[in-house]
Amino acid sequence: MRIIAGTLRGRKLNPPENLPVRPTTDMARESLFNILNNYVDYEECTALDLFAGTGAVAFEFVSRGVREVTAIDINAQCTDFIKQSAQKMGVGNMRVVRADVFDLLKRVNRKFDIVFADPPYSHEGLALLPDMVFQSGALTDDGIFVLEHPREHSFEEHAHFWQHRAYGKVNFTFFANQLDEQ
Protein backbone atom coordinates (compact mmCIF):
# COMPACT_ATOMS: atom_id res chain seq x y z
CA MET A 1 0.00 0.00 0.00
CA ARG A 2 1.53 3.29 -1.09
CA ILE A 3 0.74 6.96 -0.77
CA ILE A 4 -0.47 8.13 -4.17
CA ALA A 5 0.43 11.84 -4.40
CA GLY A 6 1.88 14.84 -2.63
CA THR A 7 4.88 15.28 -0.38
CA LEU A 8 4.74 11.68 0.87
CA ARG A 9 4.16 10.23 -2.61
CA GLY A 10 5.54 6.74 -3.02
CA ARG A 11 6.01 6.13 0.72
CA LYS A 12 4.74 2.71 1.71
CA LEU A 13 2.52 1.69 4.55
CA ASN A 14 3.25 -1.84 5.66
CA PRO A 15 0.61 -2.76 8.23
CA PRO A 16 0.99 -5.98 10.18
CA GLU A 17 -0.92 -8.88 8.66
CA ASN A 18 -3.08 -9.31 11.76
CA LEU A 19 -4.50 -5.78 11.55
CA PRO A 20 -8.32 -6.17 11.40
CA VAL A 21 -8.87 -3.88 8.40
CA ARG A 22 -10.06 -3.75 4.80
CA PRO A 23 -7.91 -0.94 3.41
CA THR A 24 -9.24 1.27 0.63
CA THR A 25 -7.39 0.15 -2.48
CA ASP A 26 -4.77 2.38 -4.10
CA MET A 27 -6.97 2.73 -7.19
CA ALA A 28 -10.04 3.72 -5.17
CA ARG A 29 -8.03 6.21 -3.08
CA GLU A 30 -6.58 7.76 -6.22
CA SER A 31 -10.08 8.10 -7.70
CA LEU A 32 -11.43 9.59 -4.47
CA PHE A 33 -8.72 12.24 -4.37
CA ASN A 34 -9.09 12.98 -8.09
CA ILE A 35 -12.69 13.95 -7.32
CA LEU A 36 -11.81 15.95 -4.20
CA ASN A 37 -9.05 17.80 -6.08
CA ASN A 38 -11.77 19.62 -8.03
CA TYR A 39 -13.55 20.91 -4.93
CA VAL A 40 -11.00 21.25 -2.14
CA ASP A 41 -8.11 23.57 -1.37
CA TYR A 42 -6.23 21.13 0.84
CA GLU A 43 -3.97 23.75 2.40
CA GLU A 44 -7.04 25.49 3.80
CA CYS A 45 -8.66 22.31 5.15
CA THR A 46 -8.89 20.14 8.19
CA ALA A 47 -9.91 16.51 7.79
CA LEU A 48 -11.41 13.81 9.98
CA ASP A 49 -10.82 10.16 9.07
CA LEU A 50 -13.34 7.89 10.81
CA PHE A 51 -12.58 4.15 11.04
CA ALA A 52 -9.03 5.06 9.98
CA GLY A 53 -7.69 1.49 9.93
CA THR A 54 -4.20 1.69 8.41
CA GLY A 55 -4.39 5.48 8.14
CA ALA A 56 -3.92 5.36 4.36
CA VAL A 57 -6.61 7.99 3.68
CA ALA A 58 -5.37 10.19 6.54
CA PHE A 59 -1.82 10.03 5.14
CA GLU A 60 -3.14 10.97 1.68
CA PHE A 61 -4.69 14.08 3.23
CA VAL A 62 -1.43 14.95 5.00
CA SER A 63 0.57 14.35 1.84
CA ARG A 64 -1.63 16.78 -0.08
CA GLY A 65 -1.05 19.55 2.45
CA VAL A 66 -4.13 19.45 4.69
CA ARG A 67 -3.49 21.66 7.74
CA GLU A 68 -4.52 19.04 10.26
CA VAL A 69 -5.87 15.50 10.11
CA THR A 70 -7.55 13.61 12.93
CA ALA A 71 -7.63 9.82 12.52
CA ILE A 72 -10.09 7.85 14.66
CA ASP A 73 -10.22 4.10 15.16
CA ILE A 74 -11.43 1.92 18.02
CA ASN A 75 -8.72 -0.71 17.55
CA ALA A 76 -5.51 -0.08 19.52
CA GLN A 77 -3.41 -1.97 16.96
CA CYS A 78 -4.67 0.39 14.24
CA THR A 79 -4.05 3.57 16.21
CA ASP A 80 -0.60 2.33 17.29
CA PHE A 81 0.29 1.54 13.67
CA ILE A 82 -0.85 4.97 12.47
CA LYS A 83 1.11 6.73 15.23
CA GLN A 84 4.25 4.72 14.45
CA SER A 85 3.90 5.37 10.72
CA ALA A 86 3.39 9.10 11.30
CA GLN A 87 6.50 9.21 13.46
CA LYS A 88 8.58 7.34 10.84
CA MET A 89 7.43 9.73 8.12
CA GLY A 90 7.94 12.84 10.24
CA VAL A 91 4.26 13.78 10.13
CA GLY A 92 3.46 16.36 12.78
CA ASN A 93 -0.02 17.50 11.78
CA MET A 94 -1.88 14.25 12.43
CA ARG A 95 -3.78 13.56 15.61
CA VAL A 96 -4.58 9.89 16.25
CA VAL A 97 -7.39 9.02 18.66
CA ARG A 98 -8.52 5.62 19.84
CA ALA A 99 -12.30 5.94 20.19
CA ASP A 100 -15.61 4.48 19.11
CA VAL A 101 -16.75 6.59 16.15
CA PHE A 102 -20.42 6.45 17.13
CA ASP A 103 -19.68 7.67 20.66
CA LEU A 104 -17.30 10.32 19.37
CA LEU A 105 -19.89 11.72 16.96
CA LYS A 106 -22.24 12.29 19.92
CA ARG A 107 -19.71 14.55 21.63
CA VAL A 108 -17.52 16.04 18.89
CA ASN A 109 -16.68 19.66 19.70
CA ARG A 110 -15.06 20.96 16.53
CA LYS A 111 -15.70 21.23 12.81
CA PHE A 112 -13.85 19.72 9.86
CA ASP A 113 -13.85 20.67 6.19
CA ILE A 114 -13.72 17.03 5.09
CA VAL A 115 -15.02 14.02 6.96
CA PHE A 116 -14.21 10.60 5.51
CA ALA A 117 -15.66 7.36 6.91
CA ASP A 118 -14.80 3.81 5.91
CA PRO A 119 -16.67 1.62 8.40
CA PRO A 120 -16.62 -2.16 8.25
CA TYR A 121 -19.04 -3.01 5.43
CA SER A 122 -21.01 -5.30 7.73
CA HIS A 123 -21.34 -2.74 10.55
CA GLU A 124 -24.96 -2.39 11.60
CA GLY A 125 -24.56 1.38 12.07
CA LEU A 126 -23.24 2.09 8.57
CA ALA A 127 -26.57 3.42 7.28
CA LEU A 128 -26.83 5.80 10.27
CA LEU A 129 -23.50 7.53 9.65
CA PRO A 130 -24.66 10.32 7.29
CA ASP A 131 -27.32 11.49 9.75
CA MET A 132 -24.93 11.19 12.68
CA VAL A 133 -22.23 13.23 10.94
CA PHE A 134 -24.64 16.03 10.01
CA GLN A 135 -26.34 16.04 13.42
CA SER A 136 -22.99 16.08 15.24
CA GLY A 137 -21.97 19.42 13.77
CA ALA A 138 -18.58 17.94 12.84
CA LEU A 139 -18.79 19.32 9.31
CA THR A 140 -18.23 22.97 8.36
CA ASP A 141 -21.02 24.72 6.47
CA ASP A 142 -19.26 24.18 3.14
CA GLY A 143 -17.71 20.85 4.13
CA ILE A 144 -17.87 17.50 2.37
CA PHE A 145 -18.63 14.12 3.94
CA VAL A 146 -17.49 11.01 2.05
CA LEU A 147 -18.75 7.57 3.02
CA GLU A 148 -17.16 4.41 1.66
CA HIS A 149 -19.65 1.55 1.60
CA PRO A 150 -20.68 -1.63 -0.23
CA ARG A 151 -22.93 -1.41 -3.27
CA GLU A 152 -25.92 -2.78 -1.31
CA HIS A 153 -26.38 0.65 0.28
CA SER A 154 -27.81 3.63 -1.56
CA PHE A 155 -27.91 7.10 -0.07
CA GLU A 156 -29.37 8.92 -3.07
CA GLU A 157 -32.51 9.84 -1.12
CA HIS A 158 -30.55 11.43 1.75
CA ALA A 159 -31.18 15.17 2.15
CA HIS A 160 -27.45 15.93 1.87
CA PHE A 161 -26.68 13.51 -0.99
CA TRP A 162 -24.40 15.08 -3.58
CA GLN A 163 -22.94 12.31 -5.74
CA HIS A 164 -22.07 8.63 -5.87
CA ARG A 165 -19.12 6.90 -7.50
CA ALA A 166 -18.37 3.18 -7.77
CA TYR A 167 -14.98 1.56 -8.36
CA GLY A 168 -15.44 -2.19 -8.45
CA LYS A 169 -16.69 -3.21 -5.00
CA VAL A 170 -15.77 0.17 -3.51
CA ASN A 171 -18.52 2.80 -3.45
CA PHE A 172 -18.12 6.40 -2.36
CA THR A 173 -21.11 8.56 -1.59
CA PHE A 174 -20.45 12.27 -1.22
CA PHE A 175 -22.63 14.46 0.97
CA ALA A 176 -22.59 18.23 1.47
CA ASN A 177 -24.37 20.86 3.54
CA GLN A 178 -24.53 23.40 0.73
CA LEU A 179 -25.33 21.39 -2.37
CA ASP A 180 -25.79 24.39 -4.71
CA GLU A 181 -22.29 25.70 -4.15
CA GLN A 182 -20.40 22.45 -4.66
What is the domain class of 42-181 according to CATH? alpha beta
| CB contact set of 180 (below 8 Å; sequence gap of 6+) | none
More confident residue, 21 or 100: 100
What Å distances lie between residue 100 and 50, 77, 84, 141, CA to CA?
9, 14, 20, 24
pLDDT in the model for residue 94: 97
Q: Among residues of the chain, what percentage have pLDDT more than 70?
A: 98
pTM: 0.93
Whether residue 80 is predicted with pLDDT greater than 70 in this model: the reply is yes
Domain residue limits, the chain: 42-181
